[in-house]
Amino acid sequence: MLPTPEIPSPDEALDQYLAHLGMERNLSTRTIQSYQEDLRHWVAFMVDGALAFGDINSEHLDEHLQAMSLGFKYEPSSVARHISSLRGFLKFCLQRHWSSLDVSNQLELPKLGRYLPDCLSIEDVESIYTNIDLTRKWALRDKALVELLYGAGLRISEALNLQLEQLNFEDGWVLPIGKGNKQRLVPLGAQSIQTISDYIHKERPLCTPLSSHVLLNPRGKMLSRMGAWKILQRITRHLSKPVHPHSLRHSFATHLLEGGMDLRVLQELLGHADIATTQIYTHIEREFLKEEHRQFHPREKEKASREFSLVNRKAL
């Protein structure tokens, strides 16, 4: 007969779950903090009600979620996030025999309205590039930031944490490290390579001392999120809509889809974490990825069109 497991307090259980997310699931510190923020309401609910894990039932779940949506007046999207976090935490407790409540079929996500992140037009994106004043100090770095966010579709965290050894200009690749510490291959177009290379060889050496990160501030340290946000605010203030780092990544994805790129290829380029989806793409060849990127990325198509026109003029 197995010994009865020692059941921790709600706070202790939460600490163990967060440690599990970091050590076994390899989630980032920021993601773990998000789980902690979501689950603190449930822990407070258990503590205030003097509930042990063996006491909780479906009625307690309903009461807690009603408080989330009515008492705290959370939007459906926030409630859905809380439910997802709570489902994972209670599953963790069930696996450790602290609780007998199986929530896999009990916590339903609320219906959400369709969420469409801000998307820029191709003309808007091109105006951002042309609006960067190249006579201004650190303009090459600012342009390199846009190339990583839009030209390669990186997350802002991936762009800011990018190391020099993750760039391969010769073969035309960048190897960002995404969520879950997973690395992927993303092709770099000719214009992205030129812009980032110009920054690295002409402007980046002016930063002292130098760290191994690609994007640096003038003090030679990794560019911060706030620094990147201020750059984008400055170079996009001519537009009628606010531009966030994710706006450029979303525009990258939208423009490629509109151009006809296969959704599976785009999923690989974006580095989405769904395992069932990712397994579909494991056999996509590198050259095919590069060709798809070159064919459907708006800036690459524009470059090819200019080269075609130049060849025709020479022929005449």
pLDDT tens for each residue of the chain, 316 residues long: 445 568 888 899 999 999 998 888 877 787 788 888 888 888 888 888 788 888 888 788 778 777 766 655 566 666 777 777 888 898 898 898 888 887 765 555 444 344 445 678 889 999 999 999 989 999 999 999 999 999 999 999 999 999 999 999 999 999 998 877 788 899 999 999 999 999 999 999 988 788 899 999 989 999 999 999 999 999 999 998 888 888 898 888 878 766 777 666 777 788 875 433 333 323 344 555 566 677 767 777 666 555 545 444 444 3
Q: Exactly one of 64, 82, 155, 255 is catalytic; which is it?
A: 155
Name the pairing type of β-strands 167-168 and 186-187: unpaired
Give me 79's structure tokens: 């409630």
Strands (E), 120-263: 167-168, 173-174, 186-187
Arch. (CATH architecture) of 10-95: Orthogonal Bundle (1.10)
Contact 180, 27 (CB under 8 A): yes
The question of whether 60 is a catalytic residue gets the answer no
Residue-level pLDDT at 128 = 94
Say if CB 181 and CB 26 are below 8 A apart.
Answer: yes
pLDDT at 315: 41
- What is the residue extent of each domain of the chain? 10-95, 122-315
Catalytic entry in 91, 179, 244, 301: 179
Same fold yes or no, 10-95 and 122-315: no
Distance from C-alpha of 159 to C-alpha of 153, rounded to nearest angstrom: 9
- Domain 122-315, architecture per CATH: Orthogonal Bundle (1.10)
Provide the pLDDT for residue 49. 79
What's the one-letter identity of residue 44?
A
> Annotated catalytic, 155?
yes
**CB-based contacts of 133, cutoff 8 Å, min separation 6:** 139
Residue 316 CB contacts under 8 Å (≥ 6 apart), including other chains: none
Which residue in the list 87, 129, 221, 281 is annotated as catalytic? 281
179 part of the active site: yes
Catalytic residue status for 213: no
- 11 is written with which tokens? 């706070």
pLDDT at 127: 94
Of 87, 244, 272, 303, catalytic: 272
Q: Model-level pTM? A: 0.57
Strand, helix or coil for residue 177: strand
- In angstroms, rounded to a whole number, what is the distance separating the alpha carbons of residues 85 and 35? 6
